[in-house]
């Protein structure tokens, strides 16, 4: 096996295109998973079981089915019911929905970790329920769960290559297409492997810095 730097230079324009799509899917998927996960967590704390039960069933179903199966269902099955989205939109929605069922549990743990005295103090001050959540409970809960949420961002990054199966040309998709066209697999696959390592490492450093800042 001989390493070909010319193949690397030829692949790099495709790599940058794939990196842009990967980061776009990661950013939008993370935003969706964090937002939807918080919604699930709040709905699970409502007094009505007619709300909690459907939310629990949906989130358990999503969490216990593979992301790959969900991608195939959303991209290949829904169009048969005249529900069609672009490949990237479908991928972002699938990743966001799938990981929201995990971030929901993170939020739940963060909310339950807020001392009971905080709830009692809000009640003693006669704060409205919405004000209690937005000004007292959620700021403390989110502060506790930021490191755990950051770990899920890294997990989502490592799952973005799955989007290749629904024709999204993220980094792995670009590497596969380039390899099939030029019959050179070692260079493009190695480049994206190194890219994933570097991005994950930089993300972990940012998470540690954020965690230290929150502790202070």
pLDDT digits (tens, 9 = 90+) for 53-103: 999 999 999 999 999 999 999 999 999 999 889 999 999 999 999 999 999
Rounded Cα distance, 172 and 156, in Å? 14
The yes-or-no verdict on residue 211 having pLDDT over 80 is no
Encoded tokens for 22: 């990967």
The yes-or-no verdict on residue 1 having pLDDT over 80 is no
pLDDT in the model for residue 187: 92
Cβ proximity of 75 and 90 under 8 Å: yes
Rounded Cα distance, 106 and 103, in Å? 5
List Cβ<8 Å contacts ≥24 apart for 108-111.
108/41, 108/44, 109/145, 109/148, 110/140, 110/141, 110/142, 110/144, 110/145, 111/41, 111/45, 111/137, 111/138, 111/141
pTM above the 0.75 mark? yes
pLDDT by residue (tens digit) across 121-148? 888 888 888 888 888 888 888 888 888 8
Domains of the chain with bracketed CATH? 24-170 (1.10.3720.10)
pLDDT in the model for residue 104: 94
Cβ proximity of 175 and 189 under 8 Å: yes
């Amino acid at each position: 096996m001989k390493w070909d730097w010319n193949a690397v230079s030829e692949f790099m324009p495709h790599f940058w295109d794939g990196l842009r799509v990967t980061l776009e899917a990661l950013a939008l998927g993370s935003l969706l998973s964090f937002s939807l996960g918080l919604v699930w967590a709040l709905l699970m704390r409502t007094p009505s079981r007619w709300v909690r039960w459907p939310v629990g069933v949906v989130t358990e179903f999503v969490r216990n089915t593979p992301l790959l199966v969900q991608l195939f269902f959303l991209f290949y099955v829904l169009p048969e019911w005249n529900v069609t989205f672009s490949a990237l939109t479908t991928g972002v929605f699938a990743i966001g929905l799938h990981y929201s069922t995990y971030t929901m549990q993170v939020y739940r743990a963060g909310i339950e970790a807020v001392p009971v005295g905080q709830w009692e103090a809000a009640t003693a001050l006669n704060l409205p329920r919405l004000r209690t959540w937005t000004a007292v409970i959620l700021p403390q809960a989110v502060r506790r769960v930021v490191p755990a949420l950051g770990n899920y961002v890294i997990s989502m990054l490592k799952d973005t290559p799955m989007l290749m199966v629904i024709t999204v040309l993220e980094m792995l998709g670009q590497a596969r297409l380039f390899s099939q066209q030029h019959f050179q697999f070692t260079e493009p696959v190695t480049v994206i492997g190194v890219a994933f390592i570097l991005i994950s490492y930089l993300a972990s450093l940012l998470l540690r810095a954020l965690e230290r800042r929150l502790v202070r």
